[in-house]
Amino acid sequence: MNSSVKYWDRSAERYARRPIADPGAYQRKLQITQRYLRPCMNVMEFGCGTGSTALVHAPLVNSYLATDASPRMIDIARKRMADGPAKGLRFEVATLEDLDHRHEEFDAILGLNILHLLPDPASTIERIFALLKRGGVFVSNTACLKDTRGYLRPVAALAHYLHLTPYVHFLSRKELERDLRSAGFRIQFRWVPESTKDVYFLIATKEK
């Protein structure tokens, strides 16, 4: 188990109790995402955390697989699902690499607040492209700290080295869009919330 997974296991209970920083922006992201969801769709969310977003979207689609590398996060998500079951929703401990065999299986994939926590976002995006059916949708919400807080890079590296924080990749919006286009995606929607300018919300599609 790598240090970032250990960090999220330790932090899971605190993370689950933490209030949403900007409820208005979160609700808008949910609404925009749901414009692209259909009852016939098979959806996957990776880095789902404690499952809050999965529980909202799952009733709107045929199936919803929500994964996270942290077993403790998934434990909490399953307890939440027990309180309000959603047909077709499954929570699993898994990484994207574990799903490589499911080529072109999903109609939509969500990666929310996760790409900047991975060492190689570009290869992750290529993997997502391969997992999506033609015409599939990729919804991402990413902290692009290179644009807004680049000065924190050495601090973040030190904190990760000391096991105080998870790994953070300092991306820019331009780099993120470049990686999406290089993988073959077409960007359909962009939004930077006024209250949280670190965050870049994107919807991209795999052309038919």
Q: Catalogue the long-range contacts made by 17-21 (C-beta closer than 8 Å, 24 or more residues apart).
A: 21/196
Beta carbons of 55 and 82 less than 8 angstroms apart:
no
pLDDT in tens, 128-163: 999 999 999 999 999 999 999 999 999 999 998 898
Supply the pLDDT for residue 17: 92
**Model's pTM, two decimal places?**
0.95
Interval 59-112: pLDDT, tens: 999 999 999 999 999 999 999 998 877 889 999 999 999 999 999 999 999 999
Distance CA 127, CA 111 (A): 12
* Chain centroid, CA 124 distance in Å: 11
pLDDT of residue 205: 98
CA distance 86 to 35: 19
Residue 208 has pLDDT above 80, yes or no: no
Which are the contacts of 20, defined by CB distance < 8 A and separation ≥ 6?
Answer: 26
Q: Name 45's bridge partners.
A: 66, 110
What is the average pLDDT value for the chain, to the nearest integer? 94
Token pair, residue 114, equals 């996760």
Q: What is the pLDDT of residue 102?
A: 94
Least confident segment among 8-17, 25-34, 59-68 = 8-17
Q: Give the helix ranges, DSSP H, for the chain.
A: 3-17, 23-34, 52-57, 71-83, 121-131, 145-148, 153-161, 173-183
Q: Which pLDDT score, from 0 to 100, does residue 9 have? A: 94
The reported pLDDT for the residue numbered 84 is: 74
